[in-house]
Amino acid sequence: MKQKDIALISVIAIISAVMSVLISSKIIVPPKNREQKVEVVGAISTEFPDLDSKYFNSSAIDPSQRITIGTNSNPQPFNNQKR
């Protein structure tokens, strides 16, 4: 390499380094601006309030019970037919 080539490469490297520092300072947020406000969550308790008596009472419908509509007189509805 010639002396002029080394000088040209070093000038280009210095200029690109200065430009990258200036551009990155605009793009990357400084540490003082990285703070963000968040909500504070309260402690979890093992105490539960009483259940609403409108929905949970002795006369309420129990959804876990099997419901049968009418009588089922046919114990084998498909007559064990194979196709």
Q: How far apart are the first and last CA of the chain?
A: 88
Note the pLDDT of residue 13.
Answer: 96
Residue 9 has pLDDT above 60, yes or no: yes
Count of H-run helices and E-run strands, the chain: 1, 0
Residue recorded with tokens 């000038």: 11
* b/e per residue 52-83 (b: at least 16 CB within 10 A): eeeeeeeeeeeeeeeeeeeeeeeeeeeeeeee
Does the predicted TM-score (pTM) go above 0.75?
no
Domain boundaries, the chain: 3-28
Residue 20 has pLDDT above 70, yes or no: yes
Mean pLDDT (the chain, rounded): 82
What's at 13, amino acid-wise?
Answer: A
